[in-house]
Amino acid sequence: MSFKPALIVVDVQEDFCPPKGALAVGGGRDIVPAINKLLAMPFTLKVATKDFHPQNHVSFASNHAAPNNKPFESIVTIKNPLNPNETQKTKLWPDHCVQGTKGAELLPELDVSKVDRIVEKGKDSRVEMYSAFADPFQNPCVANSGLAEMLRGVGITDVYVVGLAADYCIKHTALHAQKEGFKTWVVGEATRAVDPSSMEEVHKEYAKVGVTVVGMDHVVVQK
């Protein structure tokens, strides 16, 4: 079987980065040199994703009533809008990556000229969408970005995931990619976590399903 790797650069956006991001991840900007190095390599396809929410998005604490509306803390139950019998518990955040705002923009230092496709996610106000592939509902899924079809369309076998945040969108995108049948790799140095203390648990989840964390020196684009 031929080896065709894709690079998925997840949510390298102003709102996830110091100094001014609404949901700034510690060291978020520091991963750009590593990501630019990867973007210079001959992956079969290079995709950048953007968290791209409408102002009325369900994950914004500002759209919920007190007392269960504390950003970074409150957990709310949301119903599948297509099937009220299916529910998900989800965390609330400060308003972030609102469509059309500065916070939603990719970092200017990211080498976007090397990116083949941009995928916007989290556009359906009714559902959270950490995975760049789809929302977490299954029965049925509510928002599919088309990413899996895009990757299969060019025969991708392996997916390398980098970007922000390691414990949310990276984790869910990597687990989803592996489940979709792509051999999935996460480049550790090219990610940062909202809560670094959660990463041990994330790595255990990866080990269980076959997602592999690699260093920059072990990224392979040709076999």
110 binds, among Zn ion, ligand VGL, none (CB under 5 to 8 A by kind): none
Residue 103 backbone dihedrals phi, psi, to 5 degrees: -60, -25
In terms of CB distance, is 44 or 160 closer to ligand VGL?
Answer: 160
Q: How far is CA 180 from the centre of its chain?
A: 15
d(CA 137, CA 139): 6
Evaluate whether 122 touches 52 at the Cβ level (below 8 Å): yes
> Residue 172: which H helix or E strand, with range?
helix 169-179
Rounded to a whole number of angstroms, the minimum distance from the CB of residue 19 to Zn ion is: 20
Q: Tell me whether the omega of the peptide bond preceding residue 71 falls within 30 degrees of 0, making it cis.
A: no
Rounded to a whole number of angstroms, the minimum distance from the CB of residue 126 to Zn ion is: 14
164 binds, among Zn ion, ligand VGL, none (CB under 5 to 8 A by kind): ligand VGL
169 binds, among ligand VGL, Zn ion, none (CB under 5 to 8 A by kind): ligand VGL
| Burial category of 20 from C-beta neighbours within 10 Å (exposed 0-12, middle 13-18, buried 19 and up) | exposed
The first and second tokens of residue 198, run together, are 């959660």
Residue 141 among the catalytic residues: no
Name every residue whose Cβ is closer than 8 Å to that of residue 177 and which is 6 or more positions away in sequence: 8, 133, 159, 161, 184, 211
11 binds, among Zn ion, ligand VGL, none (CB under 5 to 8 A by kind): ligand VGL
In terms of CB distance, is 29 or 44 closer to ligand VGL?
Answer: 29
Rounded to a whole number of angstroms, the minimum distance from the CB of residue 51 to ligand VGL is: 5
In terms of CB distance, is 44 or 51 closer to ligand VGL?
Answer: 51
Rounded to a whole number of angstroms, the minimum distance from the CB of residue 81 to ligand VGL is: 19
In terms of CB distance, is 5 or 122 closer to ligand VGL?
Answer: 122
One DSSP character per residue, 160-171 reads: EEEEE-TTTHHH
Q: Which residues bind ligand VGL (CB under 6 A)?
A: 11, 16, 51, 59, 93, 130, 164-165, 168-169
Q: Which residues bind Zn ion (CB under 5 A)?
A: 51, 122
Residue 11 among the catalytic residues: yes
Tell me which of 97, 121, 158, 171 is the catalytic residue.
121
Beta bridge partners of 163: 10, 191
Residues involved in catalysis: 11, 121, 169
